[in-house]
Amino acid sequence: MKQKLSIIKIGGNVIENKKDLTKFLQAFSKIEGLKILVHGGGKLATKLGEKLGIASKLVNGRRITDAQSLEVITMVYGGLANKNIVAELQSLECNAIGLSGADANLIQANKRPVAEVDFGFVGDITTVNSDALHKILENQWMPVFCAISHNKKGQLLNTNADTIASEIAIGMSDMYETTLYYCFEKKGVLLDVSDNNSVVTHINTSSYQELLAKKIIADGMLPKLENCFNALHKKVAKVCIGDISMLDQKSTLHTTITL
């Protein structure tokens, strides 16, 4: 039987609030067995950029990562957020190790090809180095990933944290029974966006089609769910979406997605 591995992605809202982050890290440190954390940096990078007079660049409403933005992201995600999370986890007796995709060549990516928009230094993941990650886990080090990959040619690349989490889960599914957790501010996929208790507790392939037809899953939730099903089709055992309380095994109000 395969060993269990939990991959948890936390959203920006959790990172930005010191109290929420501590609450999350306490819950994370208590998860039994092997686990991997993936974090973005939320609005911290935007705020630092503003202080430095680096304006966010948008083309057709999409954010562009120019050289200056990448520097800010590397400082905030790779340095400030990552190292403080690791130090706090260490204080909670969780033997964390902070990583980017460049470290030990763990996550390789290509710069997104220029089509209508040049997104700048944005990476599309090509390889997760599952052997290296396995060795890290074997040593009982719990990886904490910032959302930065590299192209193996010396270039760091800003990379979507949701995608990093799902690609890691997919990459590790041959060796482990993986569960992918998307942890954000809501309790899960909601029937009524204005009611945080209207959680759809279970979604599978057929109920997903119904939710799509009824337009209950739309907007930002749509790519997230597509990402989830992609992971499930590539051998990830289970995907869960919910808030911090989802990590507490006794709590049940969150969305579980299976094929």
Structural tokens at position 67: 């050289």
Q: How far is the CB of 4 from a second copy (least distance, A)?
A: 22
CA distance 231 to 166: 6
96 or 189: CB nearest a second copy: 96
CA pair distance 243, 186, nearest whole angstrom: 5
**Nearest approach, Cβ of 232 to a second copy (angstroms)?**
31
To 10 degrees, what angle do helices 161-172 and 221-233 make? 10
Distance in Å, CB of 80 to a second copy, minimum: 5
Interatomic CA distance for residues 28 and 92, integer angstroms: 10
Least Å distance, CB 187 to a second copy, is: 28
**CA atoms 8, 16, 101, 55: torsion sign:** positive
d(CA 184, CA 244): 7
For 94, 158, 252, the CA distances from 231, given in Å and listed in that order, are 27, 21, 22
Of the pair 44, 203, the CB lying nearest a second copy is at: 44
- Closer CB to a second copy, 171 or 242, in the complex: 171
Place of tokens 């340095």: 79
Judged by beta carbon, residue 42 or residue 78, the one nearer a second copy is: 78
Complex with a second copy: residue 48 or 117, whichever CB lies closer = 48
Applying CB under 8 A, the residues found at the interface with a second copy are 48, 51-52, 71, 74-80, 82-84, 86-88, 90-91, 95-100, 102-105, 132, 135, 139, 141, 148, 150, 152-156
Minimum distance, C-beta of residue 110 to a second copy, in the bound complex (Å): 14
